[in-house]
Each structure stands twice: as C-alpha cells, then as structure tokens.
C-alpha cells in the first residue's frame, strides 16, 4: 500500500475533527499492523468496495471515545447506548467519505458504518490486504485509524496469474 | 417553514436540528431513510428537505428521484459525505437544489439553507 492511499485518511481525520468539533489531531508515524486484534475497545468500521476494496477502522479507547462523542454531539451518552454507537459510526462515515473524494479517477463506494464495542475484539479483513495503522494524538486521548485497502485491479491480476 | 431532515444518523439529525433552531426554524420532522421520508412528505408537506445520500433501505438519491416525480418545486439540499464532483452532478441532475459536504460548520449549513430558500423563493 503506497502513501497515496494513506494521505487522504490523514487529511480527512484532521479535517473532520477540526471542522465538526475543533479538536486538533497530531499524526504519528504510520506502521503496518501485524495482528487482527482491535487496537482499542471501541471500533467504528466502514467497508470499501469498487476499484478499491478493504476496511477502514477508527479505533478508540472507551474514555477517549466518550470525550470525543461528547464534543461531537454536545451530549453525554453511556458507551453502550445506541446514540453513542450512532455518533461513532457517523465519525468513521465522514472520515471515510471525505478521504474517498481524494482518490482521483477511482470509483469507490463505502458501506453504512458498523460499530463494535468490547475489549480484545478482532476485526477480520481480506486476507493478503496489509493494514496500516495511523496513530492519532488528540487532547481527548490517543486514537488510531486503521486502513486496510488494496486496488481491485491487483486482485484480478493475481487471480489471473494464479489460474 | 416546515423542514424534513432525512438522515440515518440521529447524531447528524440532531446537529442539523440545532442549526435550524438557531435560524429560527422549529417545525422539523425527521426521517431515517428515503422510504421513511416518502411516507412522511404527504402529511407533513415540507417547505425544505435536507437529505443524506448513503442510507439503508432507500438512499437519498433514490428518494430525490422519487420525490421529484410528483414535486418539482420544494427545495432539496443534499447533505452528504459524497464529495466527488461526479456525485454532485448526479445529485443536481436528479433534482437537488444545493449540496453540502460533510463535515460542515454550522455557518456553512446555515448559509446554504438561507441561499437555497432565497433562490427558490425568487424562482
């Protein structure tokens, strides 16, 4: 996965957090994630399809997620409530949608978001798709954006070569 | 002024509702997808609709196409994460009057609502 797939997500999380609730995001060094275990216990997940396929995850510790959702909505919710999940889902939806617009000349669609809560959950992604973890530091705590994407053409070429 | 908010996210409906309240619009009905919206437009008779694009059951673009079959005049504003130029053109061809990309500031949404209502009042 090259930088052109990662940069839109870095720009997008900074744009979404600053525009919607004036929260600056400092980006750490992106790295390949070795395992499928969720980085934190709250995960907002979006599926990507079309000319690029894969999964985008916003993973947050419960406390950080709670503070961010409060800033975003102006209300305090229990972390196991539907309203909390809705807000986390909308965040990853905006981050993914905003990033998608930067993929020039690529027809890409995103799914409706899903939200998973709980310690030590795992998120299955397509086998063979590398996952890049982008550490993000905010005044509400450390969160991560996980980008597991590949070009659909590469998938077709691999299948053809294997046949 | 009656406004219909169509978005599957309650969070986004609440954010938009608070912007509308600041603009003095309090007659607001909510729908969680295009089908829900179509079932409400008859009785509620909105003067303006704010429509999300990506929703389960019926998406916003399908709603716009269906709504415009019988209503050519009520202003529609698409409020969505779909930011590509091709999507904006597709929405305008389907019949939306204005377009707001998420994320947005309250000021931007207010501006687009005011601008749209002014344009449609003149037309």
C-alpha–C-alpha distance, residues A35 and A122, integer Å: 9
Q: Select the residue of B15, B56, B83 nearest A112 (Cβ to Cβ).
A: B56
Whole-complex ipTM: 0.88
Fold topology of B2-122: Rossmann fold (3.40.50)
Interchain CB contact of A74 with B (< 8 Å): yes
pLDDT score for B123? 63
DSSP assignment, residue B23? T
Percent of chain B whose pLDDT exceeds 70: 98
C-alpha–C-alpha distance, residues A124 and A108, integer Å: 20
A69, closest residue in chain B (CA to CA): B11
DSSP line for A72-102? HHSS---TTSHHHHHHHHHHHHHHHHHHHTT
**Model pLDDT for residues A2-56, shown as the tens digit of each residue:** 777 899 999 999 999 999 999 999 999 999 988 778 889 999 999 999 999 999 9
Q: Collapsing DSSP states into helix, strand and coil, what is residue A144?
A: strand
What is the rounded average pLDDT of the residues A157-162? 46
As beta bridge partners, residue B28 has: B3
What is the rounded average pLDDT of the residues B62-87? 95
Distance from CA of B122 to the nearest CA of A (A): 32
Contact call for residues B5 and B31 (beta carbons, < 8 A): yes
Does residue A158 carry a pLDDT above 60? no
**Model pLDDT for residues A48-100, shown as the tens digit of each residue:** 999 999 999 999 999 999 999 999 999 999 999 999 999 999 999 999 999 99
Q: CB-side exposure of B123: number of CA atoms within 13 Å?
A: 11
Domain edges within chain B: 2-122
Q: With an 8 Å Cβ cutoff, are A100 and B83 in contact?
A: yes
Q: CB-side exposure of B117: number of CA atoms within 13 Å?
A: 16
Interchain CB contact of A129 with B (< 8 Å): no
Interchain CB contact of A163 with B (< 8 Å): no
- What separation in angstroms does the CA of A121 have from each of A11, A22, A39, A124, B25? 27, 30, 9, 10, 43
What is the rounded average pLDDT of the residues B6-30? 95
C-alpha–C-alpha distance, residues B70 and B117, integer Å: 20
Interchain CB contact of A10 with B (< 8 Å): no
| Average pLDDT over chain B, rounded to an integer | 95
Give chain B's radius of gyration (CA, Å).
Answer: 13
What is the rounded average pLDDT of the residues A149-161? 61
Q: With an 8 Å Cβ cutoff, are B104 and A19 in contact?
A: yes
- Say whether domain A3-162 belongs to CATH 3.30.300.30: no
């Amino acid at each position: 996965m090259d930088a052109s797939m990662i940069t839109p997500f870095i720009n997008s999380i900074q744009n979404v957090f600053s525009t919607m609730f004036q929260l600056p995001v400092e980006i750490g060094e992106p790295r390949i994630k070795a395992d499928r275990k969720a980085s934190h216990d709250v995960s907002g997940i979006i599926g990507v399809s079309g000319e690029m396929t894969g999964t985008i995850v916003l993973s947050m510790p419960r406390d950080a997620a709670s503070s961010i959702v409060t800033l975003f909505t102006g209300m305090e919710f229990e972390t196991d409530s539907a309203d909390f999940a809705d807000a986390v889902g909308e965040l990853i939806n905006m981050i993914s949608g905003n990033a998608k617009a930067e993929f020039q000349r690529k027809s890409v669609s995103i799914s409706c978001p899903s939200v998973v809560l709980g310690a030590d959950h795992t998120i299955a992604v397509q086998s063979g798709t590398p996952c890049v973890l982008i550490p993000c530091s905010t005044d509400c705590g450390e969160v991560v954006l996980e980008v597991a994407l590949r070009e659909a053409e590469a998938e077709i070429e691999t299948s053809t070569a294997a046949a | 002024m009656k406004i219909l908010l169509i978005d599957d996210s309650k969070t986004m409906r609440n954010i938009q509702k608070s912007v509308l309240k600041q603009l003095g619009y309090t007659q607001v009905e909510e729908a969680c997808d295009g089908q829900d919206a179509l079932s409400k437009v008859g009785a509620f008779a909105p003067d303006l609709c704010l429509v999300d694009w990506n929703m389960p059951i019926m998406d916003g673009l399908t709603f716009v196409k269906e709504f415009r079959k019988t209503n050519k005049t009520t202003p529609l504003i698409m409020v969505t994460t779909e930011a590509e130029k091709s999507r904006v053109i597709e929405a305008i061809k389907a019949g939306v009057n204005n377009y707001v990309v998420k994320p947005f500031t309250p000021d931007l949404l207010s501006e687009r609502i005011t601008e749209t209502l002014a344009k449609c009042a003149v037309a």
